[in-house]
Amino acid sequence: MPLTLATTTPGEPEIFASIQGEGPSAGRPVAFIRLSRCNLACRWCDTPYTWHFTGDARPHRGGETYDRPANQLVLAEEEAAARIAALGKPRLVITGGEPLLQAPALARMLAHLPGMAVEIETNGTVAPHPALDPLVAQYNVSPKLAHSGNPAELALPPERLDAWAAEPRAFLKFVVAEPGDVDEVLQLAERHGIPRARIWLMAEGTDPATLAAREAWIAERCIASNLTLSKRLHIELFGDTRGT
């Protein structure tokens, strides 16, 4: 099966060069590929055009649904690899949607990109695929807390959190909006043995003012609990837009 991608405009796949805006690699020049489809439905998701298509009744705060043909396209693995290679970046970030839903096709794509360091951004609910896993340098795992609106049995499977805690390539980035969200993170860290050195806290928000207000108190919690603050540099630099 070929890859199912998100679009920047109808008919144009969301493959682009930028800087990594979040997590351990923030500020690094990278190529991005954004895949479509997700197995979760976060009410505050900032890329609902990857999953909240017409007829999907799952709640999202924006309330908008998206026309699937205009916001999703299919691309051969070789074509996707050629577009990524043309960007000339040493590092690739595979994001979504949920990329691990398309792991076999991603493994075939990466066969055309030897030597490229690969990050995968995942919600953490899907186990790495044996064909893809050896090709991944870093997993940016973003487990979804209660405020996402997803049931815990779907968003926080204990066996997956245990596995990510034991995976040294995995950095766990939690989106937080209220102080109680940090309490939930600390409880998960304790329950699943997640090393605090691999936990990032990132403010939920899609505008600089909201991010700055939340980062002020998140920074204090990071200092108190020996966690790391993640900025959202792309929002500050480019705004909440596709292809950035």
The model's pLDDT over 199-242, given as tens digits with 9 standing for 90+, comes to: 999 999 999 999 999 999 999 999 999 999 999 999 999 999 99
Please tell me the pTM assigned to this model.
0.97
Count Cβ atoms below 10 Å from residue 135 Cβ, excluding itself: 18
Exposure of 147 in the CB half-sphere (CA atoms within 13 A): 15
pLDDT given for residue 128 in this prediction: 97
Q: String of b and e for 55-86 (b: at least 16 CB within 10 Å)?
A: eeeeebeeeebbeeeebbbebebeebbeebee
Provide, rounded to the nearest whole percent, the portion of the chain with pLDDT above 70: 100
Q: What is the DSSP string of 167-235?
A: -TTEEEEEEESSHHHHHHHHHHHHHHT--GGGEEEEE--SSHHHHHHHHHHHHHHHHHHT-EEE--HHH
State pLDDT tens for residues 148-180.
999 999 999 999 999 999 999 999 999 999 999
Tell me the pLDDT band of 103, cut-offs 50, 70 and 90. very high
Provide, rounded to the nearest whole percent, the portion of the chain with pLDDT above 90: 100
pLDDT given for residue 109 in this prediction: 98
Count Cβ atoms below 10 Å from residue 187 Cβ, excluding itself: 10
pLDDT given for residue 1 in this prediction: 76
State pLDDT tens for residues 8-37.
999 999 999 999 999 999 999 999 999 999
Q: Is the pLDDT of residue 122 over 90?
A: yes
Classify domain 3-173 by CATH number: 3.20.20
Whole-angstrom distance between the N-terminal and C-terminal Cα of the chain?
A: 27
Q: In 30-178, which ranges are continuous DSSP H helix?
A: 68-71, 77-86, 103-110, 152-155, 158-165
Cα–Cα distance for residue pair 223/63, rounded to 1 Å = 36
Domain ranges of the chain: 3-173
pLDDT given for residue 129 in this prediction: 97
Is residue 69 within 8 Å of residue 133, measured between CB atoms?
A: no
Give me the chain's average pLDDT, please. Answer: 97
Q: From 133, 134, 10, select the one nearest 66 (Cα to Cα).
A: 10
Is residue 49 within 8 Å of residue 6, measured between CB atoms?
A: yes
Section 111-134 average pLDDT = 98
Tell me the pLDDT band of 57, cut-offs 50, 70 and 90. very high
